[in-house]
Chain A
Amino acid sequence: MQISFFNKKYLKPSREVLNFFALTLLFFLLAHSISAQIPHFRQHPLSIENAEQLELNCLAQSPNGVMWLGSNRGLIRYNGLQMQLFPTQSPVTALFSNAKRGLWIGFENGEIAFFYKNQINIWQREEGLPKVKITGFAEDTNGNFWFSTYGEGAYCYDGIHLYNFNTDDGLTGNEIYAIAKNAQGQILLATDNGISFCQFSQGKKTVWNESSSENLPDLIVKALSQTPTNEVFAGFYNGAIGSVTQKNWVKVQGVVSTASCFDKSNVVVGTEDNGLFFIDLQHGRIDKVPNNLQISGQSRGSTLGGIGRRIQATFIDTEGNIWVISDKNKLFSANYRFLTYKTNLTDIQAIATLNTHEILLGTKEGAFNYNIKTGQIQRFLPKKINVISLFNHFGIPFIGTYGSGLFMKKPNEVNPVHFSKLNGLSNLNIFSVATRDDTLWVASLSGFFRILQGQKGWDVVHFNSRNGLSTDFIYKIFEDSQHRIWLGTDGKGTTLFDGQTFRHFNQSKNNKAFGSVIGIAESPKGTIWLANTEGGIFYGNETVGFEEWQTTNNFTRQSLTGLTTDAFGTVIVLSNHGIEFINPTTRSRALFGSELGLTTFESGINPFSFTASSDLWFATSTDLVRMPSLLIKPKLRPTPILRGVKILMENVDFDNITSFSHNQNYITFEIEGIWHTHPQAVRYRYRLDGLDPDWQTTKEHNLTYPNLPAGTYIFRLQASQSDDFTNAEEVTYTFTIEKPLWQRIWFILLMALIFSGLGFLFIKKREERLNFQAELKREKIESQLEMLKSQISPHFLFNSFNTLIATIENDPKSAVEYTERLSDFYRNILQVREKNTISLQEELNLLENYIFLLRQRHGDAISVEIKTVRFDKKIVPLTLQLLVENAVKHNVVSKSRPLSISILELEDGYLEVKNNVRKKLDKERSTGFGLSSLKSRYQLLTPQKVSVTETEESFIVKIPLI
């Protein structure tokens, strides 16, 4: 037998039927008083300079969870750990915040401001703003924004104009204490003469009043509060409080100053003179917070204990915390999700709610009835029995015992029905009872039983291992929405019984053994949830199988005693760590442990019970906790906030700036996570996509990344109050650190463009030069051709040969020289013709040979005068020869008319070739090619031009020296 999870208390009693009837002759009432249903309060230190002079007036909360306090010295931002004061000239008397409008601030001097970009901005209106204290804000269903004043009535802003509502419009007074919106979208105003209902639609005002003392418990209405469903509660001068529509007035001792509604039955009421009250209309309870209430965080030695007498303001935040301002500068909060009841009972093993005000508790000593209204505990059954299971079936409680069978107590019958071996209940250890209709299902240590009321009595059918059960030890029995039975067995997982067959499920898809299943529940979508004694949780159904619900960070529960689901589908688990809330959709998980202030989380295996109004009760072995079914579903996780981004320690407007230069790469993130329930528990998980490969966890509020390389990054931040970050809300900030100029694409492209442009230019120039050279070459070849043509012209050769013949006869010696010169001349021509330029000296040498040849023929009829100095200057080859040749060609050369040619170097760098003109009568046919070719050759080589001047007397050619 494997009963690993059993506490010793289960092992002790025998299975025999104990004769309790004989033992308990004496009926006695156990009357214990239970502490009031007041949550655990703590005081918040005011971490602001000269806090003793601070006077707090009002409270509001931003959608991101940040609390705002209105004070005489300005607006205070509070993240649960630190306060930041935004000083204002006039005291802040009213605050309002919602997602649409942001945070609005009302001042004592009538001014109104809004908070934007970390600044308080005064609202500028053409109409002007009130001159009296702002007492509150509200928003109606038409989208109008309202605010109330103390002395000028109320104002409505329709987005264009401000409209005033005062006694002239029918208000019961101009001094408005409070403002609220009701379910019909009307605005309620609290005055000294009752309540005014206002509406503003399409420029039309509507006002009517509730100001008769027949309808109101008092005419002086001091406080209004909206429930999450917009039902309005009113608090009165005489201490009365209640819903304006229900008129379910109850009364507290004192003058009501403020009220906050969790829902339509749970209200917190503050008074001007008598402290704070918790009102529970459903259970008809009014609990005053005792003056000596123990409050954590309260400074030691402070003479004033408790909450204080004068309550200025109350507020309920999104986590279900109630906030209280009292005695001018005290700030408290308490988590209202868990209302703790210290009982004097020990070893509570089971719980069942009986009706709106009675809770059944089962202990080793018996079954007890706890009356919520009176706080009294009474024995429910007069017998001393060991109660291990309790179940309420439409007002009929079933009491399962260890060793004594099952009892059923109908309210109108004195004696309970006892199921025992006498009427077929063959095993008397009843661990669990379940039913949805007339069929009762009972789990025992010998299989399970089906009990039906028949014509002649009780019809008890027994199912055990002989019928197909895997084991006889059944700890949990659960009837699902399809009326099928799920069994939690000892070590053998779960068994589904559909009325005909048994189907056993021993392990999850990942081969985790279910073991001993003690918790079975169904979520609204039909998923079955299983929990075993080792802390494992599984979900699924018989068709798709079961998955293991895995938690991150190796969170393990050493012992698990209960699992249930609520109407929203939240899975609630009780284990040694505390109470956990799992949202299967978002996979988020919240754990509440030590902050609840419970003695222990140890419990029996039937620790949960829902009331008809969906309040959840759970019992540990010593404590009783109620979780009121609040209409607002409280948050399960802190909200992560990116408060600031600093570059090189300087704040940047990170909403708008997401790009930084390469040297702005020292970045700091200021982070915050709002979890007022337990601010110290907040930790963060962050990752810089683009740098960090994994998440980092921290409790720091400043994260610095020095020397980030260029790139695009996403900063991701999550917050949690535990190590579990699964599906946590995330804030991100995407930013870029630019590459330095020389690494940026556009710069590189620009540079490439410039270089390719330069290259292109270079190539173009080179091409031009090559073209030019080719042109030059062509010209040169043409000129050479012409030169050769002219030099080897038959005339020249004929003349030369005639000269030679004559000379041979007369002077054979000079004939040899002549021939030598002729051959020299031709050789020279061949040598220089390839060159673009030759030196003046070379040209002159060549010319000398030519002149010699000419002299031989013409003798003194030709005189050539040469005056040059700069022989190293360059000249196009055969220039001078050509010019001399031309001169000879076109002019008469005779003794009577000698041809004189002068070659002079001018000072401006030109060489002047001049000859006197004696034109031949029979002109030699001229192509004019020689001179024009010369000109074009020079044009290619130098910007200086060859000039030709022809007069009657002389022919002058000026050649630039290069």
Chain B
Amino acid sequence: MVTLLLLLSILNLNTAGQTWKCQKGKIEFNSNAPLEVINAKSAELKGIIDPATSGFAFSVKNSSFRGFNSALQEEHFHESYMESHRYDVSSFTGKIIEKIDFSKSGIYTIRAKGKLNVHGVERERIIQSTIQVNGQQMSVKSTFSVPLAEHNISIPKLVHQKIAEEIQVKINADFVFQ
């Protein structure tokens, strides 16, 4: 709930107006390095889209990721790379470039332009997504890559065979118009 409030404040939304809300979305990342594959998921992706302004905000707590190969891998993920104790929240906030009529059901390819905050470093990105609007329901699917260097996540030389320089991220979130 704290996260959602944070998102609302980022978007500077009028809570009286109706928005698309996602309480539980899925986010998955994949690091496909030569020596080790890391694949972790979180079902706690939060998101909000304001159809009036095309604004949006997504966030996820790094600590909510599950499914590491080992406890050691998970520990490294949080302590060495993400530094989750300092930067627990990764977020993406901005505006959709396309003008979409959310009241019309259908499948749309949209590009979301915003600030991607990972590891406390904010980078502007355009992320392409497919959205399917079905009345009051909407699903958002997206795949994108995050080059670690862009977010000051440095990989020790010794383990660079174990962590890909670019992490593939997949999002699958269901929204409700409230």
Chain A: residues with CB nearer than 8 A to chain B?
125-128, 130-131, 152, 160-164, 166, 168, 203, 205
**Given A164-B97, A164-B113, are A127 and B127 neighbors across the interface (CB < 8 Å)?**
yes
Are B123 and A126 neighbours in the complex by a CB distance under 8 Å? no
CB distance from A133 to the nearest CB of B (A): 14
Q: Please report B residues at the A interface, Cβ cutoff 8 Å.
A: 95, 97-98, 109, 111, 113, 123-128, 143-145, 147, 150
Known contacts A126-B128, A164-B126, A203-B124; is-contact A131 B98 (Cβ 8 Å): yes
Please give, as numbers and ranges, the residues of chain A lying within 8 Å of B144 by CB-CB distance.
Answer: 126
Known: A160-B147, A164-B113. A127 touches B98 (CB 8 A): no
Please, which residues of chain B bring their CB within 8 A of the CB of A160?
A: 147, 150
Cross-chain contact B126 with A162 (CB below 8 angstroms):
yes
Q: Are A168 and B124 in contact (CB under 8 A)?
A: no
Q: Out of A126, A131, A163, A166, name the residue touching B145 (CB < 8 Å).
A: A126
Q: Which residues of B contact A127 (CB under 8 A)?
A: 111, 125-128
Q: How far is the CB of B97 from chain A (nearest CB, A)?
A: 6
Question: Which B residues touch A152, using CB under 8 A?
Answer: 97
| Interchain CA distance A127-B128 in the complex, whole Å | 5
**How far is it, in angstroms, between the C-alpha of A130 and the C-alpha of B98 when the chains are bound?**
9
| Residue pair A161, B125 in contact (C-beta under 8 Å) | yes
The interface residues of chain A, by DSSP majority, are classed as loop
* Chain A residues within an 8 Å CB radius of B97: 130, 152, 164, 166
Given contacts A127-B126, A163-B126, 12 further A-B contacts (CB under 8 A): A125-B128, A126-B143, A128-B111, A128-B128, A161-B125, A162-B126, A163-B124, A164-B97, A166-B97, A168-B95, A203-B124, A205-B124
Bound Cα distance from A125 to B125, whole angstroms:
13
Separation of A125 and B145 alpha carbons in the complex (Å):
12
The B interface, classified by DSSP as helix, strand, loop or mixed, is strand
Q: Hey, which chain A residues are within 8 Å of B145, CB to CB?
A: 126
CA distance A168 to B54 in the complex (A): 12
User: What is the CA–CA distance of A772 and B123 in the complex, to the nearest angstrom?
Assistant: 91
Query: Could you say which residues of chain A place their CB within 8 Å of the CB of B147?
Result: 160
Within the assembled complex, what's the spacing in Å between the Cα atoms of A844 and B150?
Answer: 108
A203 to B126, CA, bound (A): 13
CA A203 to CA B149, docked complex, whole Å: 12
B128 and chain A: residue at smallest CB distance? A128
Q: Please indicate the chain A residues that have their CB under 8 angstroms from the CB of B150 in the complex.
A: 160, 203
Distance to closest chain B CB from A97 (angstroms): 26
Kindly provide the distance from the CB of A158 to the nearest chain B CB, expressed in whole angstroms.
Answer: 11
A203 touches B123 (CB 8 A): yes
Q: Is the CB of A128 within 8 A of B126?
A: yes
What are 20 A-B pairs with beta-carbon distances under 8 A?
A125-B128, A126-B143, A126-B144, A126-B145, A127-B111, A127-B127, A127-B128, A128-B109, A128-B128, A130-B97, A160-B147, A160-B150, A161-B126, A162-B126, A164-B111, A164-B113, A164-B126, A166-B113, A203-B123, A203-B150
CB distance from A90 to the nearest CB of B (A): 16
- A125 shortest CB reach to chain B, Å: 8
Query: In whole angstroms, how far apart are the Cα atoms of A163 and B94 in the complex?
Result: 13
Chain A residues whose CB sits within 8 angstroms of the CB of B123 once the complex forms: 203
CA of A171 to CA of B101, assembled, Å: 24
Quick one: closest B residue to A127, CB to CB?
B126
A160–B124 Cα gap in the complex (Å)? 12
By a CB distance below 8 angstroms, the chain A residues around B127 are 127
Closest Cβ of chain A to B151, distance in Å, is 11
- Complex CA–CA separation, A128 to B145 (angstroms): 13
Contacts of A203 in B (CB 8 A): 123-124, 150
Residue ID in chain B nearest A203 by CB atoms: B123
Cβ of A164: which chain B residues have Cβ within 8 Å of it?
97, 111, 113, 126
State A161–B127 Cα separation when bound (angstroms): 10
Which 5 pairs, one residue from A and one from B, show the smallest C-beta to C-beta distance? A128-B128, A127-B126, A128-B111, A164-B113, A162-B126
- Output the least CB separation between B130 and chain A (Å): 10
Q: Give the residues in chain A near B125, CB-CB below 8 Å.
A: 127, 161
The distance from the CB of A607 to the nearest CB of chain B, in whole angstroms, is 61
Contacts of A168 in B (CB 8 A): 95, 113
Report the minimal beta-carbon distance from A149 to chain B, rounded to whole angstroms.
10
| A164 CA to B97 CA, complexed, in Å | 9
Chain A hits for B128, CB < 8 A: 125-128
A125 contacts across to B, CB distance below 8 A: 128
Chain B residues with Cβ below 8 Å from A162 are 126
Measured between alpha carbons, how far is A660 from B147 in the docked complex, in Å?
A: 45
Considering only CB atoms, which chain A residue lies closest to B147 in the complex?
A160
Report the minimum CB–CB distance from A129 to chain B (whole Å): 9
Residues in A neighbouring B111, C-beta threshold 8 A: 127-128, 164
Q: How far is the CB of A206 from chain B (nearest CB, A)?
A: 13
A127 to B125, CA, bound (A): 8
A residues in contact with B95, CB < 8 Å: 168
Specify the chain A residue showing the minimal Cβ separation from B123: A203
A162 vs B124: C-alpha distance when bound (angstroms): 9
Instruction: Report chain B residues within 8 Å CB of A128.
Output: 109, 111, 126, 128
Cβ of A165 to closest chain B Cβ, rounded Å: 10
**Which residues of chain B are within 8 angstroms of A130 by Cβ–Cβ distance?**
97
Q: Which residue of B lies closest to A200 (CB)?
A: B124
The chain A residue with its CB closest to the CB of B144 is A126
Q: Chain B residues with Cβ under 8 A from A161's Cβ?
A: 125-126
CA distance A162 to B109 in the complex (A): 17
